[in-house]
Structures are given as C-alpha cells and as structure tokens.
Amino acid sequence: MNGVTMKTNTDEYIWNALKEDITSEDVTTNAVMRTPCPGRAELICKEDGIICGLPVFARVFELLDETSLFETEATDGDHVKKGQLLGTISGDIRAILSGERTALNYLQRMSGIATYTNRLAKELEGSGTKLLDTRKTTPNNRAFEKYAVRIGGGYNHRYNLSDGILIKDNHIGAAGGVAKAIRMAKEYAPFVRKIEVEVENLDMLSEALDAGADIIMLDNMDKETMKKAVAAVAGRAETECSGNVTLERLKEIREIGVDYVSSGALTHSAPIMDISLKNLTPVN
C-alpha cells in the first residue's frame, strides 16, 4: 500500500477510526503527560504469521504527529515469528499513546487476514485455481482487508458494486429468469464489462451458457454436481466455486478444475494476529 494510495484512499478511514477512539481528548494520556515529550516504543510480534499493514500502522502516528518515524524491521508479506522485533515507532509520546490501539487494530486485523489467506492459498498451489475474496468485509475497512488478502497470496474479486456485474439469485428473481437477466445486463453495461452469473443447478448453468455469460459461479454445489458443471462448461466460460469454502473442502475443489474459488471467510472469519507495542520510553 503505497503513499499515494494511502493518502487518497485510506486517510479518511484512518481519521474516522481515530475520531471514534478520541471524541474530545485522550484523558488518560493528557493526565499523565502534560507537555510534549519525545519517546520510542517497540513493535513486537507475539505469534507466527504473515505481517500485513505496516504502512497503515505508521500512518496512524503520522496523522497524529507529523514528526513521528516508524523504523521497520519487516515488510508486508514477510513470514514473521513469535518474539520478533517488527520495528520501532518514535515521536511525541502523547501521539504514541493515543494512536496505539487504532494502529494495532489495523495491523492485527490485516495480519490475521493475510495469515489465514496464506493457509488457504497454499492448498491451491499448483492447481491453476485462484483464491478470491468477496464483499463480505467489515464496513469502512474494505480497502485494508482486500489489500491483506493480496498480501496473503489471494486475489480480489470485484471491489464494490460499481466494479463488475454479478447476477445472483435475487437479481435473477427480480429480472424474471437467468436468460432475461443476462440479456438486460448486456444491453445496459459497457461492452468491456464481463458478466458473471450465479447458478445453483445444471439447468440454470445450461441457460446461463446459452445466454452468453462470461463467468459462471457454481454456488453451493456438491462435489459431483460441480464436476458435471465444469465438464458442461468445457471452456465456454470461466468458472468460480463459492459457498461453504473451508480449508478441508479446498482439497477436493482443487481437483475439480474450476478457475476460481471465492471465500467470504478470508475477511469475515480470520482471527487477528497477536502483536504488541511495548517498552515505551522517553528519549532525551
């Protein structure tokens, strides 16, 4: 996540997170630290995993104190170990104290997603099937969470509703059928947009193929039905598997030959990674 992306896309979200935590003042910090004082603290990893969100961590303190400096000992995507020093943050102690929780919330959450994504992505290595995220993200944290998926070795599905056409069951119901929904999408959308359609059975699959869908999402199909679906597509469209995608189920999905497998769990169920900011001391 480079500096331009940070300032144009995420500063607003970081500010809102800080405002959520500091409505009028940090009364504890202001009570024990009445005047500016330079200080330094260590960022320490407390479990093994994939680190992600170091630029966001640093940006929290930069917004509170433009003189702050984060000297990192790691890079997003690194495999880190319990007890490892990840970096040091220096600046006004008041800013370090006030920004600590917000900065760690981002770093722990993003690292947890990257670590969990990496575990699942490894199950698909060598298969030709790509692991995708979904829009099942924490409100106002999508930019951070989808970035974490990429750092963990996964790929992003559409970013939001403006990013691509995905005709799901309720869209089909609203339109009056699979073929009609696809036809309406082709009439409305720019020609550069691919059209993806969610199907639940082989009859819907056949209708979607005949109507010219570009991508077929095989939703909640069992193993045998999915095999028949991939054989029926026979390269006429790309295929995506979704629904109840677990680590165990990936082992059988990889053998079926779908192009993509999407998992909402990457962002909605990944546990955080334990990371602490320790040893804060004044610097004279």
The residue assigned the tokens 């359609």 is 197
> Which entry of 168, 180, 193, 254 is annotated as an active-site residue?
168
Strands (E), the chain: 38-45, 49-50, 69-72, 79-80, 85-92, 130-132, 165-167, 195-199, 215-219, 238-242, 260-262, 275-282
> Look-up: residue for tokens 């409100």?
139
Supply 109's token pair.
């959450």
Which token pair is 171?
């869209």
198 flagged as catalytic: yes
Q: Does the annotation mark 224 as catalytic?
A: no
One of 101, 119, 249, 254 is an active-site residue; which one? Answer: 101
- What distance, in Å, lies between the first and last C-alpha atoms of the chain? 33
Query: Can 94 be counted among the known catalytic residues?
Result: no
CA–CA gap between residue 53 and residue 76 (Å, rounded): 7
What CA–CA distance (Å, rounded) separates 136 from 263? 9
For this structure, is 150 an active site residue?
A: no
Q: How far is CA 19 from CA 22, 96, 99, 119, in A?
A: 5, 15, 10, 34
> Would you state the structure tokens that stand for residue 151, as one six-digit string?
């750092």
Catalytic residue among 145, 198, 207, 240: 198
Q: Of these residues, 40, 119, 122, 136, which one is catalytic?
A: 136
* Closest C-alpha among 251, 202, 252, 207 to residue 231: 202
Of the CA atoms within 13 Å of residue 126, those in its CB half-sphere come to 4
Catalytic residue among 100, 207, 219, 240: 219
User: Catalytic site residue 238?
Assistant: no
Measure the CA–CA gap between 131 and 125, rounded to whole angstroms.
Answer: 10
For the annotated catalytic residues, the residue numbers are: 101, 136, 168, 198, 219
